[in-house]
Homo-oligomer: A and B are copies of this chain.
Amino acid sequence: MWNALTDAARELANRSDIRVVIIRGDGDVAFASGADISEFGKARRSSDQAEAYHATVQEALDAIEAIPYPVIAQIRGFCIGAGTAIALACDLRYLDASVRFGIPAAKLGIGYSPPWIDRLAQVVGHSTAAEILMSAKLFDVEKAQRCGFANEVLPVEELDSFVSERATLFAANAPLTLRAAKTCLRELSKPEHTRDWSSVVDAAQRCVDSSDYQTALKAFAEKRTPEFLGE
């Protein structure tokens, strides 16, 4: 499943006919209920296997983060363990009121991967990250909203329409601006010495040099809504 996720994310990253990506679970029960623990006995028995497993998951998370469009996690039901790691690799998380999220690593004696803890702490803060990891408990949406895990919490019956409204909104905006914003936020979330700041400056520069920018200024003067081409 992780390799399939990597492949799908890489394919989406290379398509030019896309403006927004939505990641959601199949069905109503869960966004992702975590890794298949019954397989750990085989797949993560030794240190070498565990390292290989973490590398495979990390590859998928990196591929999601590298998608140059806004990536929305549309979350309902269970969002657990590696499922939270996927949710955190997205730019935004919209939840319905049924969500239960958490990281049960401490019930299994597993070391949750340090880069995922880093990302968790960036989104929910150090204190909530500590509570999530040390309790291994599932939390509800009240906590998700309070700690910043959820960008928005919707009633169960409204999540679909809310997410599709937001996706439409993002899709109508200038792709180069979104790419520049995403590039900047992504590099800022990395340790300072590994940041590629020139890519951030380049992405901002591309906006100024774009024909989309000229189109928008003209549309503004004529009180029209511009149509952006990402060029």
Contacts and interface: CB of A to CB of B under 8 A. Distances in A.
A181 B47 contact: no
A148 B128 CA distance: 8
A184 B70 contact: no
Contacts of A130: 70, 91-92, 181-182, 185
A47, A134, A203, A217: most-surrounded residue (chain B CB, <10 A): A134
A209 interface: yes
A193 interface: yes
A148 B127 contact: yes
Given A148-B127, A217-B108, A184 B91 contact: no
A59 to B, nearest CB: 18
A162 interface: no
Interface in A44-82: 44, 46-47, 50, 70
Interface residues of A, number: 82
| Residue of A182, A205, A216 most packed against chain B (CB within 10 A) | A216
Q: Which of A93, A107, A145, A221 has the most CB of B within 10 A?
A: A107
A180 B204 CA distance: 35
Contact of A134 (B131, B134, B170): B170
A98 interface: no
Nearest to A174: B109
Contacts of A6: none
A40 B176 CA distance: 18
A117 B184 contact: yes
15 contacts: A38-B220, A46-B208, A47-B205, A70-B130, A92-B131, A105-B181, A106-B177, A109-B177, A109-B207, A110-B174, A111-B176, A111-B206, A122-B126, A134-B182, A136-B173
The 8 closest A-B pairs by CB, nearest first: A111-B207, A111-B204, A106-B173, A109-B213, A133-B181, A109-B174, A109-B212, A106-B177
Interface of A: 37-38, 40-41, 44, 46-47, 50, 70, 91-93, 105-114, 117-118, 121-123, 125-131, 133-137, 145-148, 151, 166, 169-170, 173-174, 176-178, 180-182, 184-185, 188-189, 191-193, 197, 200-201, 203-210, 212-213, 215-217, 220-221, 226, 228
